[in-house]
Amino acid sequence: MTVFGKASIAQLEKAGAFENLKIIPDKAEIVPEEKKSFWRENFSVLISLMLIIVGYSFQFNYGEESLQAIVSFLGAILIGGYSLFKSGLKNLIRLDFDMRALMTIAIIGAAIIGEWSEGAIVVILFAISEVLERYSMDKARASIRSLMDIAPKEALIRRNGQEFMVSVNEIEVGDIMVVKPGQKLAMDGEVISGFSSVNQAAITGESVPADKHPGDEVFAGTLNGEGLIEVKITKLVDDTTIAKIIHLVEEAQAEKAPSQAFVDRFAKYYTPVIILVAALVAVLPPLLFGADWSEWVYQGLAVLVVGCPCALVISTPVSIVTAIGNAAKNGVLVKGGVHLEEMGMLKAVAFDKTGTLTKGIPAVTDYKVLSSQDPKELLSVIAALEDKSQHPLAASIVRKAESDKINYKEMIIEGFSSVTGKGIKGTVEGMNYYIGSPKYLETVLSGGIPSEVRTEISALQSSGKTVMAVGNEVELLALISVADEVRETSKAVISRLHELGIEKTIMLTGDNSGTAHAIGKQAGVSDIESELLPADKLAFIKTLQKNHGKVAMVGDGINDAPALAAATVGVAMGGAGTDTALETADIALMADDLQKLPFTIKLSRKTLTIIKQNITFAIGVKLLALLLVIPGWLTLWIAIFADMGATLIVTLNGLRLLKVKDK
């Protein structure tokens, strides 16, 4: 057995059992836990629910006081509430009046007055909340594991003229890592040989793959493109950028403790006061004034019954469960009531750019022919050449040709070649064509690019577009601009958020300032922050929280994970989002539909309003009923009516959340 200091792993896990903690030795391989089936995991909850249904069936057929109904409800209470009673009774003994103690009192009170069905309903509501809590904790652990799997566990290293696979834990600073086309980088380093375009959206959030030449920095977890590169290792595995992101996520999750619910705080005072008042009502009049013991014990029992906090206990969960169910039907996954409540208190919303405000897929935005050639014929030549290229931007031109129904596949290309870091060239029907960066075409054209065209290129680039030039040795034939397009719904969503009273909408991106401001202006956000790494996004979110309080972060990438975890509410774009962003976030928009964001805020605010109404009503009814003790008018029947009536009303009020529409 592995031992840490004087404590074994088993002992450490036992100490952390209350928080469901698991101990994993540093750098040890994580073995996936055995996945239990849904039925096995929630067996007691399902049995309890079945017994409640059976109990109501007996009640309907044989009456409320039938033995069969009572036994069924009692079975549901004992099976579904075992863990609740176990901790609730311990807390009562320690005089720690938390939510579990409060609910234990509620169920005992229901049993005393013979309201077995009410006690069973309280138990099942609590059991369902425990299932949701366990699910959230499992997902939180899984998010860290998925982060750890982003970078490969071994790499091809060259030492002393020989190449062999080495575990990342054994790689040293100064080693040479050989990265083939299509492989992920296992370590951070500096390119010393070769050229390639590297998709590093996972780290920087850049929408377009970055060209890497000798001397450029590369990151673990990024994806190499079409070229073979050799990388000199500059950091050990624990110091890589991806390792730092993992650390940032862990820190952010540790900092974000759920705010203690009002009912929990209230219960610490409410429950002992009710118990004390009930005892005093039962004992003081007979002792001090010689009153009838049976009459005042009855009054004390009535106080205990009316004080039974069933309506108060149900007031919040019934609203939360209803709202979460409504959200799910509308394509929004909410991972807990705390997150739903906090959505309604937001003052600022930060957005990642790529894949969130934009589509995340480069597309042709401009195609301008500068020669006398037919635009469709020229596009067919360009698409045929780009179809042979492996550059990520080539696919956007091919998609453009296909959407315009241009036939390019039958075009015969001769002498095709890729010019490293510059572009491509090939011959079609005896004419040479060159496609690539404007700098590349400057070297090809005999007279260079005309000044008026250079001005046009600069204007396109300053608006955040990547420009490709097409030409031959004699003339410039066309300009093609490619950019990550803004989602059609982004501007309307930002406008709606401002209408809802959100003070700030901020776009955070790893892209350059020109691209960022062009996209931000189209989307209509109030603020733009560019050239940010994950640590910068995290720092900005923390600053935003200091200035505005409740802040949401909406993102989809691994690079957004620390910011998603640190924000008051992290919102992931579900379909396009990485597993890490999805698991780290508190709310997921399952259909990648940003329009669900204003709906979720609207639903949250309505939920908060109904919760406040329910709590106020539940406490108000109790106080009114307790006032009847003074003239001695409080009877067990009034107590039962007040308790059951309040419970029914707060439940029906909570169900109004089903009517909140996605409009």
Closest CA to 326 of 602, 136, 595, 90: 602
Estimate to the nearest angstrom the gap between the alpha carbon of 558 and the chain centroid.
11
Taking the C-alpha atoms of residue 549 and residue 541, their distance in angstroms, rounded to an integer, is: 10
Q: What is the pLDDT at residue 597?
A: 93
Please tell me whether residues 458 and 377 are part of one structural domain: yes
First to last CA, the chain: 58
What would the two tokens of residue 342 be? Answer: 């906090």
What's 400's domain CATH number? 3.40.1110.10
Q: What is the pLDDT at residue 189?
A: 93
Taking the C-alpha atoms of residue 555 and residue 352, their distance in angstroms, rounded to an integer, is: 5
Q: What is the pLDDT at residue 256?
A: 36
Domain boundary among 555, 585, 603: 603
Asked whether residue 570 is domain-assigned, the answer is yes
Asked whether residue 266 is domain-assigned, the answer is no
Ranges of residues in the chain with a pLDDT under 50 are 1-4, 12, 14-33, 136-137, 140, 248, 252-260, 576-577
Please tell me whether residues 438 and 388 are part of one structural domain: yes
How many domains in the chain? 5
Structural domain boundaries enclosing 79: 40-149
Domain boundary among 116, 149, 182: 149
Please tell me whether residues 204 and 341 are part of one structural domain: no
What's 200's domain CATH number? 2.70.150.10
Asked whether residue 88 is domain-assigned, the answer is yes
Q: 506 has which bridge partners?
A: 350, 527
Please tell me whether residues 176 and 234 are part of one structural domain: yes
Asked whether residue 304 is domain-assigned, the answer is no
- Cα–Cα distances (Å) from 491 to 357, 486, 551, in that order, read 9, 9, 20
- In the DSSP assignment, the letter for residue 237 is G
Sequence length of the chain is 663
Please tell me whether residues 342 and 369 are part of one structural domain: no
Q: What is the pLDDT at residue 655?
A: 81
Please tell me whether residues 141 and 79 are part of one structural domain: yes
Q: Mapping DSSP to helix (H, G, I), strand (E, B) and coil, where does residue 533 land?
A: coil
Domain boundary among 176, 204, 239: 239
Asked whether residue 381 is domain-assigned, the answer is yes
Q: What is the pLDDT at residue 322?
A: 79
| Residues 554-584 as b or e (16 or more Cβ within 10 Å = b) | bbbbbbbbbbbbbbbbbbbbbebbbbbbbbb
CA angle, 562 then 566 then 568, to 5°: 140
Please tell me whether residues 162 and 130 are part of one structural domain: no
Closest CA to 482 of 460, 459, 512, 507: 460
For residue 68, how many other CB atoms are within 10 A of its CB? Answer: 15
Asked whether residue 506 is domain-assigned, the answer is yes
Q: 222 has which bridge partners?
A: none
Q: 332 has which bridge partners?
A: 589
Give 470-520 pLDDT, tens digit per residue: 999 889 999 999 988 888 889 999 999 999 999 999 999 887 787 788 889
Q: Which residues are catalytic?
A: 352
Please tell me whether residues 366 and 349 are part of one structural domain: no
Q: What is the pLDDT at residue 576?
A: 42
Taking the C-alpha atoms of residue 486 and residue 357, their distance in angstroms, rounded to an integer, is: 6
Name all contacts of 146-150 with Cβ < 8 Å and 24+ positions apart. 146/578, 146/579, 146/580, 146/583, 147/242, 147/245, 147/246, 147/249, 147/558, 147/561, 147/580, 148/30, 148/246, 150/184, 150/202, 150/220, 150/221, 150/242, 150/558, 150/580
Residue 346 CA neighbour count, 13 Å, CB half:
33
Please tell me whether residues 588 and 498 are part of one structural domain: yes
Closest CA to 432 of 441, 367, 368, 398: 441
CA angle, 232 then 236 then 240, to 5°: 90
Please tell me whether residues 418 and 527 are part of one structural domain: no
Taking the C-alpha atoms of residue 307 and residue 622, their distance in angstroms, rounded to an integer, is: 6
Q: 156 has which bridge partners?
A: 165
Please tell me whether residues 477 and 366 are part of one structural domain: yes
Asked whether residue 498 is domain-assigned, the answer is yes
Please tell me whether residues 513 and 593 are part of one structural domain: yes
Residue type, 85: F
Decide: pTM greater than 0.85. Answer: no
What would the two tokens of residue 45 be? Answer: 């909850």
Taking the C-alpha atoms of residue 170 and residue 240, their distance in angstroms, rounded to an integer, is: 14
Q: What is the pLDDT at residue 577?
A: 47
Asked whether residue 261 is domain-assigned, the answer is no
What's 535's domain CATH number? 3.40.50.1000
- In the DSSP assignment, the letter for residue 408 is -
